[in-house]
Structure 1
Amino acid sequence: MAGVSLVLTAACSGSGADTTGAEGDSGGGDPVEVQISPEDGATEVRPDLPITVTAANGTITDVQVTQSGGESDAQNGPEGETGASEGEEGGEEEAGDAFDAITGTLNEDETEWTSDWTLTPGSQVTVTATAENEGGEETEVVSEFSTLAATAGQRLELQSNFPVSDDTVGVGMPVIVNFDLPVQNKAAVEAAMEVTSEQPAEGAWNWFGDQMVVFRPKEYWEPNQKVTVNMHLAGVQASEGVYGVENHQLDFEVGRSQISTIDSDTHRMTVERDGEQVQDFPTSIGKATTRAYTTTSGTHLTMEKYQHLVMDSATVGIPEGHPEYYKLDVNYAVRFSNSGEFTHAAPWNGQLGEANLSHGCPNLSTEDAKWFYENSYMGDPLVITGTDRELEVDNGWGYWQRSWDEWLSNSEVGEADKTDEAGSPGSPFGEAGESGETE
């Protein structure tokens, strides 16, 4: 990356400097040498390269970065719209001015400043740096340059996310982000997504394919707190020549702690609220005559719920005409996997609490199913024990099936994110190469 090196004294500084006194006065001292990269006048600067400011014979006192005319400005709708296309789920609200601001970090001796986040493609950027020498004389240097625009068809966009802003969720809720294009530079994208919470926690991202990434804390979230996800995606090079074009911010609430357990052997479902048992339901789970009719054991999360649902076995591979085919109207259904498992009312089952007779779903009385339906948040843990079919990590939201050590080892960054601290592990920047910038 090319730079511009300027040696300025107070007499030739742009503003705020004391220009009185002759050279060599006691207030002078050695002049400050300030260097900004990218250099003034550069064009088509890769947006995934950092801004750096260095000072010799002095310290950096202030750096301001402004962007205008970026591609996110052209693509966003009116302020407050989500930025998702019509019909998409969960596209998060566009970031405001404060979130879009390019912040930076000073080294310990305050002689080098490096930007924290990437730049918006196709934008005009102005960097204003202020430094002072030992005598307190200030020097201001400005660099103005433009960034490379993202190419049509190579613009990484947020397709959906769970939860969405303003949701209240259970203590097991992950953050699930789906992109519209494959991501190859996964570590850079992980590093661009900053997760903060009011209560201290540590967590990490895991990828499931090239277009979905999931954040999970080491332990369940502490209840009754706010979590924020700042997705600094604008300018991140997700794959070769593919750049994020917009930042997103997600704010959700973690509600009370509710953890439910179903024991295949006792045929009971218990519910604990904030550490105290509040319900004990008789149930009947999968009869286990086939794998399809065996309820999965493990730590599940409640995903969605329906007051009324038609359950058709054709959707899980048992077509009409098959001896085991069924099509049932059920009430108060709460999904907890993608293999067709729901808790639901089953008034026809006369052996609740006595035997496992279902096609895989935990059957409950209508009253009990209604209570669970009405009192469940998305992301509440539901632990099932005693069957010989283990829940897969990618079956629904089975992410708690991985131990923390295994989860952390599957992170491309490979380092835990401490959510009570600003920033994220790793770097969102690419490596400087032959296409760093042109003049």
Structure 2
Amino acid sequence: MAGRPSLKQFVPKSIFGRSLLIIILPVVVMQMIVAYIFFNAHWATVTANLTESVAADVAVATELYSRDPSIDTAKALDDLLRPDMQLSVRLKPGEALPQSRRRNFFSVLDQSIGRALANAIDEPFWFDTTRYPHHIDIRVAVDEGVLQFYAARDRVFAPTGFVFIFWLVTATILLTLVSVLYIRRQSVPIRELADAADAFGKGQDVSNYKPHGAAEVRRAGQSFMRMRQRIRRHLDQRTLMLAGVSHDLRTPLTRLKLALSMAETKEDIAEARHDVDEMEAMLSAYLDFAHGAGRGDAIPVRLDELLLTLGEEESVPVTVSEPVTIDARPQQIRRAVLNLVNNARKYARDPSIALWTTPDHLLIRIDDAGPGIPEDKREDVLRPFARMDDARTQNVEGVGLGLAVARDIAQIHGGRLKLDDSPRGGLRATIQLPR
């Protein structure tokens, strides 16, 4: 059952939109309140005074006509009122008042005229404020027909209302434009900081990023650059440490291998050779993990061709939905996929590779037909040096770094590694990369 829409759904998500809303919304609300007060206080009062004056003139003219009802009297009144009072009078013998009237957009004007005429005239009347652009049509029923008055619109309508609206709208538009330009300029440093953080998360060089903008944004940018230096220093130290350990141990390992190769072939010597080979493999795995953060710039890579080539070399079936080109480090992507394929071969059987695309992501799926991994242990096996004491690791060599290296590489490219159940009954490892 769908709930009611919340206010958050209508609030802008970007800082630019929210800042603009914070500035523009109070201004619009304030101007609406000012306009309401203006029209209901000043403009309505002025219009009411003007309409009462016109209604009084119409009432006087009607009273003068009733004393001597004739066409000549109507003409005399017209000659008297037209020049100075902008009020035209005409008698329409035998006519009746119209039965309908069009409504004015400004209902306040109709209400003011209707109220003023009702207070000033006892006879039935009719008026129309929309028929003529510069005059108001007022008609009063008399015994001979209809006495029609044309009053200048300026006499019953305060034109300052339109002037006020014009300046109100113009000021709002100008303020909005200035706010848009200013806020857009303020949001640029934040967007650049977000782009730099995203690029650094993908292992790209962000040394050309320079913090600028407001003091808070500059401080956040400077903190980001310091954090980048600390992370880089940590990664370099990790790589140097493991590389040094590997280098120091390779020399005695080489001597041991040489000594064992010259010794007589016995069962205990064969086991020693096996141990030395396993130690050498472990050192290679440590170096792979140490270099997982990688260096170098990403380049355009045909991901479908890379996977097809890898599948052909490793004799693994590959399914590609469509040709895809992304910016990546091809050797690292190859290493991650190969680690997952070797992991499936080691602990399961029949690995397969598939490349799928979505509007936002690329999905590299490696499926196998092995025993799988329980859901509650999937996060644990992604940690470095993790091993499982179940059917997947019985009598199998390894140091528990294959999945950790693959996850490192996925994260370097702004993606992630996810483990799920495979439709084939085993494990599905998915490398999700942004498009």
Q: TM-score, normalised by structure 1?
A: 0.20
Name the one with the larger helix percent. Answer: 2
Structure with more contact order per residue of length (Cα contacts < 8 Å, sep ≥ 6): 1
Larger radius of gyration: 2
Q: TM-score, normalised by structure 2?
A: 0.20
